[in-house]
Amino acid sequence: MTATATSTGLKHVPVITATQAAALVKSGQTLLVGGFGMTGNPVHLVHALAETDVRDLTYVANNVGEAGLSGGRLLRNGQLRKAIGSFFTSNREAVAAAQEGRLEVQLIPQGSLAEALRAGGAGIGGFYTPTAAGTVIAGDADVRVLNGREMIFVPALRGDVAFVRAWRADEAGNLQYRLTEQNFNRAMATAADLVIAEVEEIVPVGTIPPEQVHTPGLYVDYLVQATLTAEALGSSADVRGSAKKVDEARMHMARRALAELRRGDVVNLGIGIPTLVADLITPAHGVNLHTENGMLGVGPAPEQGGALDYPVNAGKVPVTALPGASYFDSADSFGMIRGGHVDVAVMGGLQVDAHANLANWAVPGKPLLGVGGAMDLASGARRLIVLMTHTDPDGTPKVVPECTLPLTSRGAVSMIITDRAVFEFRDGTLTLTELMPGATLDEMRATTGAAFVEALD
């Protein structure tokens, strides 16, 4: 079955079943799978593939679905040989498979993954980026200094087959995405030899206004109509399933971080303690929240409902959209970050050292499987604020002379807010500027691993 011409001269893209689509994938191929978590994920196509005997796939996606869902089902079946992505820790079974040697894993920072796919679709061999420079993720990549910054080379990524998910398609294959469902889908739709789009509905040519076409039909080879259900959305199906760890110490840190944000700031909040800041922001603050999976103008979480009704943030939690919000894909989102258009990033941390280096994505003895967008944000935002507890549970300091954990970024931290104190890097020097309620200067001297200057207001 091949594309034919419509009466308008546009091609007519064949509509096939998910089973027919799965039959087009061959063992040993590289499969691109769209989605961020389960949002915008072509779950019906992947589940149909799980019913075949296809094996030895290289699976390219942000993550390997969730346990038993989407790529997680292929993983359970032993159909994946290798996974290329940025955040595998969201699927505990993928972590176990990597630890046991059943799954080869290639970890790429989220923004580099999106850009590598965009490059692959545009016929570009690769690109240089400051993201991951000086970290273990860089590996043996070519390193150059460009415009005064150390950058590493990232080769383009392409696939044999791409499974993408769109909200609507017309008969010519033009695709329209919904809310934050563009994520990796737009780039992947350009970067494979064969592109199959799973869509909620198929409409006549002309139904989708030209300015609302996100992926032109020339990229799309086949359409599959499949209705999305809440069950297919996994952990994003309902906001009530995304419990946050909240206590007064964490909320005090969040309130202190909020005090650093200025009207008009574009701000990205990392997962963990930083997400609590979002619950404190009101329209009166005039802060514009950015999330790397493709949204500017993030509002508070709804009281109920899930990703069928709302966009999701980087924590895969359903959120609302404020007036003036916009949606885009992950490649554009990280272009905003690397391009210096995000004023402040608020992130969690495992260690910050006296040289403003941050480590927040990996610990010894555990597989390196979850970098996400942290490296892009830490090196790309104009100002980086780190929120973390002052010590580990055993009392080990987290503000240290030199980071001993794998680095996220070098020399990028502007401020550290812990549950006991606030530090700033003033002229490159770690400086204690504030004590949290109940903390004492003697305590800070005893529990801070790095030397610091005291400049309490």
Active-site residues: which are they?
Answer: 292
Angle between helices 110-122 and 330-338 (to 10 degrees): 120
- Written as six digits, the tokens of 351 are 């260690």
Look-up of token digits 């005997």: 53
Q: Fill in the DSSP letter of residue 384.
A: E
Neighbours of 162 (CB within 10 A): 32
Determine the distance from the C-alpha atom of residue 213 to the mean position of all C-alpha atoms in its chain, rounded to a whole number: 24
| CA–CA gap between residue 33 and residue 75 (Å, rounded) | 14
Name 318's Cβ contacts closer than 8 Å, sequence gap at least 6.
236, 238, 239, 242, 301, 302, 305, 306, 307, 309, 310, 311, 312
| CA–CA gap between residue 84 and residue 80 (Å, rounded) | 11
Q: Kindly give the residue spans of alpha helices, DSSP state H, lying in 77-216.
A: 92-99, 110-122, 185-188
Residue of 91, 113, 289, 262 whose CA lies nearest to 184: 113
50-80 in b/e form (b: 16+ CB < 10 A) is bebebeebbbbbbbbbbbebbbbbbbeeebb
| CA–CA gap between residue 11 and residue 217 (Å, rounded) | 8
Instruction: Name the maximum alpha-carbon separation found in the chain.
Output: 80
